[in-house]
Structure 1
Amino acid sequence: MQSPLRRILVGTVFFVGTLIIAVTGYALLDCPFITATYMVIITVFGVGYGEVCPVETPTARMFTVFVIIAGYGSAAYTVGGFIQMVAEGEIKQVLEQRRKTKDIENLQQHTIVCGYGRIGQVLAHKLAETQQPFVVIDQDVGRLTSAEELGYRVCQGNATDEQVLEAAGIGRATCLATVLPDDAANVFITLTARGLNPKLTIVARGELPSTEKKLLLAGANHVVSPASISGMRMANLITHPNTIQFLDQGDDRNRLNELLAQIDVQVDELKIPLNSPLVGGTIADLEVRGKGTFIVVALRKRDGEFIIHPDHSVPLAPDDTVIVLGHHGD
């Protein structure tokens, strides 16, 4: 089957060629040019005002029949190309939508991300990096288009709607992250999702401190406050810059820092002052003095050099900073 564009092009060329041949033919039958053009128009377009050119001979009549058939045929062929183009576009759109729906229907143990704003985009990027299957729900067509361009599965609609959550496969999902900037919407989504899947792990975003309790009561397993995390991050950059630099050297260490906080373990830094008895000593001497309450995981020399997992024999100098790992309060 020819492509719609090719059909339109061929039909248009044939139609224009028919008009030119028809006007020339009537002119050869001793019909003035303007009259011949008028004759062709009322013949091809079926206006039917009568014959203004002499068509009394069998040749003239056969020519007129040719003009009618060729004109109608080429016009119908061109219009058919336009109809095919529209129909194929709609059919392709329907098939593409069906393919996306089928893809989501086949998902098992996936994550549903409600909201594709700044936090949702970061979350989706991390899930894609770790090859975790997920579906993004959002109402904004522009955001979903950008998500689809990255190869993400998307579901358009309001995440507070049960039907939208079901279309995203909430009954087969293992985790749902609701990261909308509206706390009330996050509470409602959490409540709805918990009712649809009691075994679901729900991670919810809460902007206000008072929202955390409501989200937990609604069924959230974890509540994350972006403002609180940002504030703590900025405070740590001021109070523990060397520790943050050590932990920021890779994504794995960022995740390690989050896990350590959950088990009441702290990464801290100790600066060696000029008059410290530890000056001239070694990493082993420091750990002995600590009586096993911490371990040294890194050393930042005063010249800025970072040594990860320093050997016990490494000497300590004034203005060195030792990164240690231990329990809170030790």
Structure 2
Amino acid sequence: MQGSLKRILTGALFFIATMITAVAGYMLAGWSLMDAVYMVVITTFGVGYGEVHPITSTTLRVFTICVIVAGTSSAVYIVGGFFQMITEGEINKVLGARRMTRSIETLEQHVIICGFGRMGQILARKMLDANIPCVIIDNNAERIAMAESSGYLIRIGNATDEAILHTAGIDRAKVLATVLPDDAANVFITLTARELNPKLMILARGELPSTEKKLRLAGANQVVLPAAISALRMSHMITHPATMEFLSNDDGRSRLNELLSQVDIQVDELAIVHNSPMVGATIEDIEVRGKGTFIIVALRKSDGTTITHPSQALVLSEGDAVIVMGHRGDIPQFVRKHVIRRPGRYASSRLFRIDR
């Protein structure tokens, strides 16, 4: 693109210099300024209206030939630069699209974000910060251009279209987040995505509380209601202003994390894997075997739903995860003794972190 622009500028400068030189030459031959300009224009562009004054001298005829050759060549050079610019732009678009398609085809366990509005932009930025590959789907040219300029992989089209979801690699994706402001579109996307990939984790946005049930029936694992979340946070700001101010501050989160570390406390996720002795056990069984060394905070079921303060009679199934808070050394010991059959397979992860 820069080469074609340079070519246009060079041709324009040469054309202007030719025009000025030609006008000056005819004026030196005794022509008026208007006659000289008129002669140069009809000569350069090949209009062929005839000479303003008879050209009888050999010198003037040679000069006119030079004006024709120089003026026409510079004009053609400029036009060629414009065509080069257009062609290069189209070629770059095609090559860029092919590179992006190949990049998407190599992705696995990535995230698909349907909609690049305000929520989509925040979500994509968080994925980028966490080095999680993601593909953006949107049919708005302005938003797509914004996503492309930010370096995201994009697919242009309607996310309700199966073909678009296939080009985004839905069969290899780990998570699909549909964050469009249209509840009907989110329900339809959820239905389509669940049919194309039954194992896919689907996160859906809902504007109305009544939409949550529809999205879950359509196959969404989790439903986010922005209005409800905002209202809940505002209510906490009213009822617990000091706590919210402390936790919303980076120093506050870091301080809290340091305090937990100082007392050797951590929040861990105990996965109930295949053939685990805890399959079929209850929450009460874990508490009894734990002998008070940790607190059960929540239970995440295999279908993705999370239960806070689970009932003691709740039975554990394969694929569930028990979220506990306890001493750093007690949890691995409990896992080796009660959760897995063979030692050395404990892989605890800090599921909840106070700091970003």
After TM superposition, the score normalised by the length of structure 1 is 0.68
Letter in 1 for 2:55: V
The match for 1:69 is 69
Partner of 1:306: none
Corresponding letter in the other structure for 1:202: I
- Confirm or deny that 1:35 pairs with 2:35: yes
Contact 1:104 1:169 in 2 (8 A): yes
Structure 1 pair 109–51 and aligned structure 2 pair: CA distance change class (3 A): same
Shift of 1:232: 4.0
By how many angstroms is 1:132 displaced?
1.1
Q: CA RMSD in A?
A: 3.4
- What is the CA–CA distance in structure 1 between the aligned matches of 2:325 and 2:52, rounded to whole Å? 107
Which residue matches 1:99?
A: 99
**Cα offset, 1:133, TM superposition:** 0.9
Matched, 1:87 2:87: yes
8 Å CA contact retained: 2:297, 2:325: no
One-letter amino acid of the structure 1 residue matched with residue 93 of structure 2 = Q
* Corresponding position of 2:134: 134
Equivalent residue, structure 2, for 1:229: 229
Deviation at 1:28, TM superposition (A): 3.8
1:120 aligns with 2:120: yes
Larger Rg: 1
Secondary structure of the structure 1 residue equivalent to 2:24: helix
Paired with 2:243 and 2:49, the residues of 1 have a C-alpha distance of: 93
> 1:16-27 maps to which residues of 2 (within 5 A)?
16-27=16-27
Alignment of 1:111 onto 2:111: yes
Amino acid at match of 1:46: G
For structure 2, the 5+ residue unaligned runs are 258-266, 270-295, 301-306, 310-323, 328-356
Amino acid at match of 2:20: I
Quote how far apart the aligned CAs of 1:67 are: 1.7
Give 1:2 deviation, angstroms.
8.1
**1:1-330 residue pairs with structure 2 within 5 A?**
3-237=3-237, 249-250=252-253, 260-262=297-299, 264=307
CA distance in 2: counterparts of 1:41 and 1:295, whole angstroms: 87
Per-residue CA deviations over 1:107-145 (Å, capped at 9, x if unaligned) read: 111111112233323322332222111112223333334
Contact 1:36 1:53 survives alignment (8 Å): no
Distance 1:38 1:155, change over 3 A: same
In 2, Cα distance between equivalents of 1:218 and 1:143: 27
Change (3 A) 1:171 1:82: same
Gaps in structure 1 of 5+ consecutive residues: 267-293, 298-330
Question: What's the CA shift string for 1:52-80, capped at 9, x where partnerless?
Answer: 33323333322222221111111111222
CA contact (8 A) 1:114 1:159 kept: yes
Aligned residues: 268
Q: Summarize deviations over 1:227-272 as a string: whole Å, max 9, x none.
A: 343444445555666776776544998xx69994445555xxxxxx
Change (3 A) 1:95 1:230: same
Q: Distance in 2 between matches of 1:19 and 1:121?
A: 53
The alpha-carbon deviation at position 85 of structure 1 amounts to: 2.3
> What residue in structure 2 maps to residue 327 of structure 1?
none
Cα gap change, 1:37/1:296 in structure 2, threshold over 3 Å: closer, same or farther? closer
Cα distance in 1 between the residues matched to 2:44 and 2:325:
94
Query: What secondary structure sits across from 2:55 in the alignment?
Result: coil
Q: d(CA) in 1 for partners of 2:246 and 2:128? A: 26
**Residues 1:133 and 1:46: Cα distance change in structure 2 (over 3 Å):** same
Q: In the aligned structure 2, how far is the partner of 1:116 from the partner of 1:42?
A: 55
Q: Distance in 1 between matches of 2:240 and 2:30?
A: 101
CA distance in 2, matches of 1:151, 1:2: 22
Name which of structure 1's ranges 169-178 and 81-90 shifts more when overlaid on structure 2.
81-90
Distance 2:98 2:152 in 1: 16
| TM-score for both structures, normalised by structure 2 | 0.64
Distance 1:19 1:222, change over 3 A: closer
Amino acid at match of 2:207: E
1:78/1:192 CA distance change after superposition, 3 Å: same
